[in-house]
């Protein structure tokens, strides 16, 4: 466990395997824009102690309300269970917008690693907001995401989501580089060339699909930085959070 990580929360991340939505209200009251955060964990765990609460607290400091999604994993989390959970989370927030004091328009969805695959999938017609009849996210924020389920995937994520014996056509069906269309949300994504767990080509594949379909996006690639570093405090990657928030704010302004 990383230094500074709450051990009780870390244990909760490892042993809890069900849908949960944790609420982090922005200070000051009044309706605020909101972010839904999908931590990573290889579709085996949901590591909110690293890629959930720290993001939420940082967003609170910026004046945003945040929610951390715990989605089903391992055998309970075979496709499409995680996709159903992210849709359930967005629907719960929107249906309770008055209670949570959030604005319905221009919300953001954040995802790291396998949670990045989940968040990126929510941007597609086949598996995301359109499929579930939900409003389009204002932006997606993807941190060292798993994108492909093909040869260059993170094997653990693919095995946990689809099963070790999933046929090639099913793996292609969940390879998100093939499913970006003109309806895809504006996207900020980043990774590190030094990532030894999720091949950097995953982000490259998505960035190419975004370019090919004319989707507003920003792709930041750092030279150093291990996989799973969250906010990246004290590393070359530390500035990604500020860039991501600026991307979200820029797109909110363009929405009017």
**pLDDT tens, position by position, 21-35:** 999 999 998 999 999
Q: For position 1, what pLDDT does the model report?
A: 33
Residue 50 exposed, middle or buried by CB count within 10 Å (0-12, 13-18, 19+): buried
The Cα–Cα gap between 164 and 121 comes to 20
Q: For position 222, what pLDDT does the model report?
A: 98
Q: For position 11, what pLDDT does the model report?
A: 74
Q: For position 14, what pLDDT does the model report?
A: 76
The Cα–Cα gap between 40 and 122 comes to 15
**Helical packing angle, 114-122 and 155-162, nearest 10°:** 60
Q: For position 7, what pLDDT does the model report?
A: 62
The Cα–Cα gap between 189 and 180 comes to 14
Q: Which residues contact 255 (CB under 8 A, 6 or more apart)?
A: 105, 106, 138
Q: Which structure tokens are listed for 246?
A: 């600026």
Report, as ranges of residue numbers, the positions in the chain whose pLDDT lies below 50. 1-4
Q: What is the DSSP letter of 136?
A: P
pTM: 0.95
Partners of 79 in beta bridges: none
Strand 139-143: give its sheet, edge to edge.
20-24, 65-70, 34-38, 108-112, 139-143, 187-192, 217-222
Domains defined along the chain, listed by start: 7-255 (3.40.50.1820)
Q: Which structure tokens are listed for 120?
A: 């990126």
The Cα–Cα gap between 131 and 43 comes to 21
Q: Which structure tokens are listed for 36?
A: 């839904």
């Amino acid at each position: 466990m990383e230094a500074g990580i709450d051990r009780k929360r870390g244990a909760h991340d490892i042993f809890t395997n069900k849908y949960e939505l944790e609420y982090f209200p922005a200070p000051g009251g009044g309706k605020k824009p909101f972010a839904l955060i999908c931590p990573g964990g290889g579709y085996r765990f949901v590591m909110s102690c690293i890629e959930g609460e720290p993001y939420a607290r940082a967003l609170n400091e910026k004046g945003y309300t945040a929610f951390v999604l715990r989605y089903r994993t391992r055998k309970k989390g075979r496709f499409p269970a995680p996709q159903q959970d992210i849709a359930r989370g967005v629907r719960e927030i929107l249906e309770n917008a008055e209670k949570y004091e959030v604005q319905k328009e221009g919300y953001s969805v954040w995802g790291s690693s396998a949670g990045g695959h989940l968040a990126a999938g929510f941007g597609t017609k086949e598996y995301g907001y359109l499929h579930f009849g939900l409003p389009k996210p204002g932006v997606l924020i993807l941190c060292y995401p798993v994108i492909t389920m093909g040869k260059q995937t993170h094997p653990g994520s693919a095995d946990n989501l689809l099963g070790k014996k999933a046929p090639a056509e099913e793996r292609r069906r969940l390879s998100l580089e093939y499913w970006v269309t003109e309806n895809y949300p504006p996207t900020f994504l980043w990774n590190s060339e030094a990532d030894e767990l999720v091949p950097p080509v995953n982000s490259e594949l998505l960035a190419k699909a975004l370019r090919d379909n004319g989707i507003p996006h920003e792709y930041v690639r750092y030279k150093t930085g291990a996989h799973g570093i969250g906010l990246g405090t004290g590393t070359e990657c530390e500035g990604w959070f500020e860039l991501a928030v600026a991307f979200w704010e820029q797109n909110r302004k363009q929405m009017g």
